[in-house]
Amino acid sequence: MPAASASPFRSALHAARDAAGSQDYPQGTLYVVATPIGNLADITLRALHVLERVDAIACEDTRHTQALLRAYGIDRKAGAQLLALHQHNEAEAAQGVIERLARGERIAYVSDAGTPGVSDPGARLAAAVRAAGHRVLPLPGASSVTTLISAAGLAAAEGGAAQSAFVFAGFLPSKAAERDSAIQQLAAEPRAVVLLEAPHRIEALARALAVLGQRPVSIGRELTKQFEEIDTVPAEGLAGWLATKEQRTRGEFALVLHPAAQDAAGPAGEGERVLRLLLSELPLKSAVRLAAEITGAPRNALYEQALQLRKADDGA
């Protein structure tokens, strides 16, 4: 990181003061600040101004945040002005933040990268601050979730309308059995699903996702950084994509599981049709088991659907 005096962001800091300086920044407020996920130029002017003027900055890693601030030409001393608040101490450290807010201080919170509270610390802090009666003011910015969604090119829904709905699942369980169960549930999800994964677990996740066959998966590796890669492959080909180049298993990953392609009588409609026929003759569990064997649909999803059908029939 460059020294503060030699920061290439000096002009940006001046622009931040000009653009955001006249806005209102209430005291006794927690400012939740998004920071870049890779490219330092993705910081917002309002974030720069707030990080420069708040009384203290609570952060996931004080050393990382100190280096980030210096890159922007913001020189803050560690200790009283940088407060450690991470996943291991968030509940306790939140009380210290609340005490400072009660004195009328302005406190910012940043995670190591991206938007706090999205698979990063910050959610417990925000909840505790709001419960204590203080204001939480978000400063939006970079997020790997929306960054990849914007480039994934999700398939158009029937009729040509854009398929914009998605579910954020984040990190799946690390244990194989729990991860496989989670993927079985995601297989029945009609919307796009956003996943995050660390480099040391990406190959295991790729092997587990192979059960989804031809369902498209968009991969975002090292988003916004120098060696960024964005590609879309069938789920069953993800492990092969990773194996093509040695460096592809390095870096941070975001993935988008595209909506499952369905025709007019697609898997969901076929599953319901089969379930209705079987439920008219068999107990619920037997009907679900046979429907799963006939259609190939996940048993958990069929069981939930069977319960809904039974409930609807009982209410009719």
Q: Calculate mean pLDDT across residues 60-87.
A: 88
Give the pair of three-digit tokens for residue 203: 């190959």
**Assigned fold of 4-139:** Cobalt-precorrin-4 Transmethylase; domain 1 (3.40.1010)
CATH code for the domain defined by 144-257: 3.30.950.10
More confident residue, 3 or 17: 17
Q: Above 80 in pLDDT, residue 78?
A: no
pLDDT band at 161 (very low <50, low <70, confident <90, very high): very low
pLDDT tens by residue, 90-127: 999 999 999 999 999 999 999 999 999 999 999 999 99
pLDDT band at 163 (very low <50, low <70, confident <90, very high): low
Q: Above 50 in pLDDT, residue 135?
A: yes
Give the residue from 223, 287, 298 showing the smallest Cα distance to 253.
Answer: 223
Collect all residues with Cβ–Cβ distance below 8 Å to 160 and sequence separation of at least 6.
none
**How many angstroms separate the CA atoms of 209 and 68, rounded?**
36
Q: Is 234 left (phi over 0), alpha (psi -120 to 50) or beta?
A: beta
pLDDT at 101: 98
- Domain-wise residue ranges, the chain: 4-139, 144-257, 267-315
State the average pLDDT for the chain: 89
Whole-model pTM? Answer: 0.79
Residue 57 pairs in a beta bridge with 82, 108
pLDDT band at 5 (very low <50, low <70, confident <90, very high): low
